[in-house]
Structure 1
């Protein structure tokens, strides 16, 4: 288990993995991170306050993730993050926010008025059928929605190399993510006990034919392993 790390390549920043309340959606077929959630506010804050002590502000950039969205962190946790960022002169904070919170993002921007807030969204794939019917992530994309997301979110998360995906779909997802978002994080799926399974043939193809060139792009980060950012609970 590791809840604090430093990322030094491409987009240098500190990153923390905090404990939050239950994910507002919590039905994604591929997600086992929700096992880290808790309804015990005292437990949450005990863990989070200890993790947040590690922040040094070296890069002026902090990424805060939890098993859900920033809106599922306790008020005391948010206040602690705010105070630390003000004290350490951190100017940019990345937060994750689920699609359902789209209309509430300004609440976080207003609360952290001394920082630039960059939101991250888990798109997983731009294929509506695969996202909703296979991954069970229940939101649809169209031109109007994508325009909104492009305006409100900095980073898209993609998940690749699962059974049912194709090379064509993966390449299309990457191109669309690059088109609509300033930054893209691509995760090669690791089997985690859920119903979604890793496709080893796609992994081999991606690592051999796509990764060497794609990984040179400054605004794209690729997680070959889900521990590559250095934070994990499993």
Structure 2
């Protein structure tokens, strides 16, 4: 498991994949990342502190991801991150949170005292596919409401049941609404949700230009950020 990497393109930063307690939502039908979760707090902290030792602060920006949400990291891990931020004069953090944590986002801003870019795994703006198939649990009423909480969305493409029209609309709305978004090309895992190879191939041909789009980061495979 690679837990540290450096992203050098578009939004240069260091990135850490940390362990955490179980995801409080935990219902996403396509997600087996939660297998990295644990209830052994001492072990979680041991793994995370080792990963944190690799951070250099070279870009002044650090992204923290885990198999869930930043709010599920143990207190000791959060304090270690804060100490590293202060020691290395890190000015910005990228953090992840699910919609259920929308009312708590300010807590991390207050705790770390630096600029925070909040990412959320929306997967698609198509409500029916998002909720009936992917089981995401996002009940926002408008894009304005969603944008009011989160700075960036993560989209997923190439899933059985998804359509080209859905993907086209997702990319359009992301470009219009957010200053940063990520597109993940779905990789088959241990869940019952399967990839659509034809759709993935079409996306890779049709949207290769996203590599030059300054707002967008594309993960053609799920380890493109160097962690996982």
User: Please, what TM-score do these two structures have when normalized by structure 1?
Assistant: 0.95
Structure 2 gaps of 5+ residues are none
CA shift, 1:106, in A, is: 0.6
Question: What residue in structure 2 maps to residue 141 of structure 1?
Answer: 140
Distance of 1:198 and 1:17 partners within structure 2: 24
Distance of 1:166 and 1:191 partners within structure 2: 17
Distance of 2:204 and 2:178 partners within structure 1: 23
Question: What residue in structure 2 maps to residue 217 of structure 1?
Answer: 213
Within-5 A mapping of 1:26-37: 26-37=26-37
CA RMSD, Structure 1 to Structure 2 (Å): 0.9
Within-5 A mapping of 1:12-91: 12-91=12-91
Indicate conservation of the 8 Å contact 1:12/1:61, yes or no. yes
Q: Secondary structure at the match of 1:215?
A: helix
Indicate conservation of the 8 Å contact 1:120/1:153, yes or no. yes
Indicate conservation of the 8 Å contact 1:128/1:141, yes or no. no
Indicate conservation of the 8 Å contact 2:147/2:178, yes or no. yes
Q: Secondary structure at the match of 1:2?
A: coil
Alignment deviations for residues 51-97 of structure 1 (CA, whole Å, 9 cap, x no partner): 00000000000000001111000111000000001100100001101
Count of aligned pairs between the two proteins: 228
Distance of 2:145 and 2:206 partners within structure 1: 33
1:121 aligns with 2:116: no
Structure 1 gaps of 5+ residues are none
Distance of 1:111 and 1:141 partners within structure 2: 26
CA shift, 1:181, in A, is: 1.6
1:226 aligns with 2:226: no
Within-5 A mapping of 1:97-176: 97-113=97-113, 115-143=114-142, 146-176=143-173
Indicate conservation of the 8 Å contact 2:187/2:195, yes or no. yes
Distance of 2:216 and 2:146 partners within structure 1: 18
User: Please, what TM-score do these two structures have when normalized by structure 2?
Assistant: 0.98
Runs of 4 or more off by more than 4 Å in structure 1? none
CA shift, 1:122, in A, is: 0.5
Distance of 2:176 and 2:103 partners within structure 1: 22
1:6 aligns with 2:6: yes
Distance of 2:30 and 2:76 partners within structure 1: 30
Distance of 1:175 and 1:120 partners within structure 2: 18
1:192 aligns with 2:166: no
